[in-house]
């Protein structure tokens, strides 16, 4: 069994999400390691979850930590292959860290996509992946899709917004993105999880 495209799951914070997604053969699984964030996963929680898993590579997700604190934090979390940050100024300080790098950018409009064209060339030169997410519910327009296609031509691009079970295959094929990103969520109670759109999209992408 496999998925039709590369998939990253972000902000995993419970075993239900982790085991389901690993069982669906996702490629990357992200954990928030910033203690002040709502989705923070402690070293103990991380160990408890990942002891049950095999298959995906792990992404350490940071929003505001300085690179020094990022690396200090990671000393308590074995097994990570990727570091994800939101500020490009931090990238040069992490390039020789031994981790692969992902830069996450929040998108609210087509102008945000346009503003990333120049940066996308630089990311490609340093083999840094670009992750696009959004805090808004965005329906992808033709202009959006054209800009995403341009960015995906310039660098390795993971798309994390504007997707649902009805359009995900078409968008991936049309834009030639490296892959997609979906978000984990909180359990209703331990062991009980409503997977909603995450499961719907993964099932569409499942190879027959």
Q: Residues 53-78: what's their mean pLDDT? A: 96
The mean pLDDT value of the chain amounts to 91
Phi then psi for residue 149, to 5 deg, are -60, -40
**Would you say residue 189 has pLDDT above 60?**
no
Q: What is the pLDDT of residue 1?
A: 62
In a domain, 31, yes or no: yes
Q: What is the pLDDT of residue 199?
A: 85
**pLDDT tens-digit map of 8-21:** 999 999 998 899 89
In percent, the amount of the chain with pLDDT more than 90 equals 77
In a domain, 2, yes or no: no
Q: Residues 99-116: what's their mean pLDDT? A: 95
CA separation, residue 101 to residues 14, 55, 132 (Å): 24, 19, 14
Number of other CB atoms surrounding residue 50 within 10 Å: 22
State the Cα angle at 98 between 97 and 101, rounded to 5°.
Answer: 80
In a domain, 1, yes or no: no
With a CB cutoff of 8 Å and minimum separation 6, the contacts of 144 are 110, 113, 138, 162
Question: What DSSP state is assigned to residue 33?
Answer: -
Give the domain extent around 120: 7-205
Q: What is the pLDDT of residue 196?
A: 67
CA atoms of 177 and 171, how far apart (whole Å): 8
Q: What is the pLDDT of residue 16?
A: 86
**pLDDT tens-digit map of 114-145:** 999 999 999 999 999 999 999 888 889 999 99
**Would you say residue 185 has pLDDT above 70?**
no
Quickly state the pLDDT bin for 195 (edges 50, 70, 90). low
CA atoms of 202 and 21, how far apart (whole Å): 8
**Would you say residue 192 has pLDDT above 50?**
no
Q: Residues 32-55: what's their mean pLDDT? A: 94
Q: Where are the alpha helices (DSSP H) in the chain?
A: 15-23, 43-50, 67-74, 91-94, 110-114, 117-125, 142-154, 168-175, 196-205
Q: What is the pLDDT of residue 95?
A: 94
In a domain, 186, yes or no: yes
Domain of residue 133, CATH code:
3.20.20.70
User: For the chain, how many structural domains are there in total?
Assistant: 1
């Amino acid at each position: 069994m496999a998925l039709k495209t590369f998939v990253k799951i972000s902000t995993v914070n419970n075993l239900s999400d982790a085991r389901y997604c690993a069982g669906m053969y996702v490629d990357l699984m992200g954990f928030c390691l910033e203690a002040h964030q709502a989705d923070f996963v402690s070293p103990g929680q991380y160990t408890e979850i990942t002891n049950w898993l095999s298959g995906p590579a792990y992404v350490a997700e940071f929003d505001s930590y300085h690179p020094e604190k990022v690396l200090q934090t990671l000393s308590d979390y074995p097994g990570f292959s990727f570091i994800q940050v939101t500020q490009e100024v931090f990238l040069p300080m992490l390039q020789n860290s031994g981790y692969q790098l992902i830069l996450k950018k929040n998108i609210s409009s087509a102008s945000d996509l346009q503003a990333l064209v120049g940066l996308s060339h630089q990311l490609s030169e340093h083999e840094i992946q670009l992750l696009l997410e959004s805090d808004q519910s965005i329906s992808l327009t033709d202009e959006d899709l054209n800009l995403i296609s341009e960015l995906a031509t310039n660098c390795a691009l993971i798309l994390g917004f504007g997707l649902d079970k009805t359009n995900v295959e078409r968008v991936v094929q049309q834009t030639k993105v490296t892959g997609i990103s979906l978000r984990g969520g909180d359990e209703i109670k331990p062991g009980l999880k409503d997977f909603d759109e995450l499961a719907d999209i993964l099932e569409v992408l499942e190879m027959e």
